[in-house]
Amino acid sequence: MYVQCFDFSWRKRGEFSLSNTPVRFVNSWRNQTIRDNLQRQWIKSGVFRLLYWGGIQVLVFLYSDQSWAKNWHVVPSLQWQEIYSDNINLAASGKAKNGFVTQLSPAANIIWQVGKSSLNLRYNMQNLYNAHGDGDYSLAHQLQFSAHNVLLKNRFFVDSRASIGQQNISNTRLIADNISGNKDDTTTMRSFGVSPTWLVHLGNYVNGSVRVNADTFSSGATTLSNSETVAEMIQLNSGSQFKRLQWSAGFNNSKAYRTDGEDVAFQSSSVSVRTHIHKKFSLFATVGHSANAFNAAANVGRHNNGFFYTLGGRWSPSRYYWLEAGAGNNSYATVNIMPMKRLSWLTTVKCNAIGLNTGTTWQTALNYRTRNASWTLTHDNDTTTVQDIFTTQNAALVKVNSPAIQLGAMPVNISISSPSAIDGVVERASWNLSAVFFTGKSTVSVHGFNQDRTFQASKNNAPSTERVRGVNATWQWQFARKTSAYLSPEWQQIDRYSAKNTSSHDNRYDFAIGLNQAITQRVSAQLEFRHVTQTSDLLSNDYQENRATANLFMRF
């Protein structure tokens, strides 16, 4: 057995020893270069990997406790599919090749819960013959995992997460699964993360949390760097002893270390104080600092580092609505309306000079529900990395409104609205509208979206901006006790504008009709016909596909 040890010790004043390597501080811990060097040594020395494997060992120890064994819920399954495609290579007109694809996918759903601790794991092994028309066997893995483990009640818990899945390398040739198209157009992406969290309770004076995130991301895309990210988050709030005067303090620091390309760092801190001068009116003051570091092309990014302040107040004349506004170099106005239990609407307009997404931005969230329907409308602005976007998509590859979920199978879905797989930070402005309607035997769901992306760095003529918009819908009709039918149309458009003033446009149309039949409680079958058309400025990216699928799903 090999054990790696680390020597952490203080030497003379102003020196710190890590693995017997002294590093001298300059201007205390505030020196950014020294701190980055220490973090790099911390990762490269193996502490980062030790944290991962140590966390896994703790989780295995907890889950293997015999007294908790009865709380496991394991559902193995097997899915067999026979697929015929008249354009299995998704080639342009005149170059299409037809063929059959056989898929056999064993899978397992694992759920565990004890008190407030829980685990949820979904694994699928996709065995394919003649995928992409290559006449050969291929294998793909999909995994979604999340766990929440309470180690000390109301004090300390550990969250962990992992994902494995396939994604489009380029969104110019969209592939929705691992069956048709060119296999070189997709790549497998993997992520893993551990987050220990300490809950702070200092009597009735201070409440809060201290959290550390350690995450890794890797892929087979040469245009996208592998990365290891360390993030620290501290949030402290005043306790119940503070009656007239409340306060809060927050610190967020994140650094992504990339194997290739520039590292990315986000940091923000703030302190707020609020006092109530009337039961319906309060005043507040916020001061803070923002320090972000990443590669950005000139005249592209909207971010500024420095100190910011906001002074304002909140007016709450009724329990049905309230208004809050603040002025300063970072200013905003918020309106929250709740006229009834079924309706809530929160809207914020910001004008920030410091931080990310500077300038005028706004967010809104509208939720309305009736007995037979629900509506959701959102708009948001954020700044993130392409790696984080793919990690989020990998963790939720299965479409919520997929008719196959009613069948029991968990289909493989590669996101077709992904950004270009390039290194860099991306600003996003996103609209989402969702509606679900229920009748006696039918369920209708509709989702529309629009997203504007601005890439902060453009290399190798990569797109500097993208606009993605689309609509998808599903109608499910339970016309017999064990039989149902569905229709599922979808449309998506992507517009790209590169740094060299060139542009490209793609449209994708997808229509599916299917029939689900429950044979027994554990066995079900499905027949589906699907038509896909993609049109593009580039003729090589134009294609049509007609596909017929027979599916048999078994739970054990």
pLDDT digits (tens, 9 = 90+) for 306-364: 999 999 999 999 999 999 999 999 999 999 999 999 999 999 999 999 999 999 999 99
Reference 378, options 452, 434, 453; nearest CA is 434
Nearest-angstrom CA–CA distance, 23 and 244 = 46
CATH number of the domain bearing residue 433? 2.40.160.40
Nearest-angstrom CA–CA distance, 121 and 459 = 38
Does the pLDDT at position 220 exceed 70?
A: yes
Count: domains in the chain: 2
User: Is residue 430 in a domain?
Assistant: yes
User: Is residue 520 in a domain?
Assistant: yes
Nearest-angstrom CA–CA distance, 408 and 395 = 19
Nearest-angstrom CA–CA distance, 470 and 448 = 6
User: Is residue 361 in a domain?
Assistant: no
Nearest-angstrom CA–CA distance, 393 and 418 = 8
| Phi, psi for 480 (deg, rounded to 5) | -145, 165
Beta bridge partners of 18: 8, 21
User: Is residue 447 in a domain?
Assistant: yes
Dihedral of the CA atoms 193, 167, 513, 105 (nearest 10)? Answer: -70
- The separation between the first and the last C-alpha atoms of the chain, rounded to the nearest angstrom, is 39
DSSP string, 194-210: EEEEEEEEETTTEEEEE
pLDDT higher for 52 or 414?
414
List strand residue ranges (DSSP E) for 220-353, in order: 227-238, 245-258, 264-278, 281-290, 303-304, 306-318, 321-327, 330-340, 343-352
Beta bridge partners of 26: none
User: Is residue 169 in a domain?
Assistant: no
pLDDT in tens, 241-269: 998 899 999 999 999 999 887 899 999 99
Q: Are 456 and 294 in contact (CB under 8 A)?
A: yes
User: Is residue 145 in a domain?
Assistant: no
pLDDT at 409: 53
User: Is residue 535 in a domain?
Assistant: yes
Nearest-angstrom CA–CA distance, 362 and 360 = 7
Nearest-angstrom CA–CA distance, 537 and 533 = 14
Model confidence, pTM:
0.82
Helix, coil or strand: residue 68: helix
Q: Are 370 and 388 in contact (CB under 8 A)?
A: no
| Phi, psi for 67 (deg, rounded to 5) | -70, -15
Q: Cα–Cα distances in Å, from 169 out to 138, 394, 415, 470?
A: 19, 14, 11, 20
pLDDT in tens, 444-481: 999 999 999 998 865 555 668 899 999 999 999 999 99
What is the chain's Cα-based Rg? 26
User: Is residue 177 in a domain?
Assistant: no
Q: How confident is the model at residue 182 (pLDDT cuts 50, 70, 90)?
A: confident
Q: Which domain holds residue 453?
A: 406-555
| DSSP single-letter state for residue 20 | T
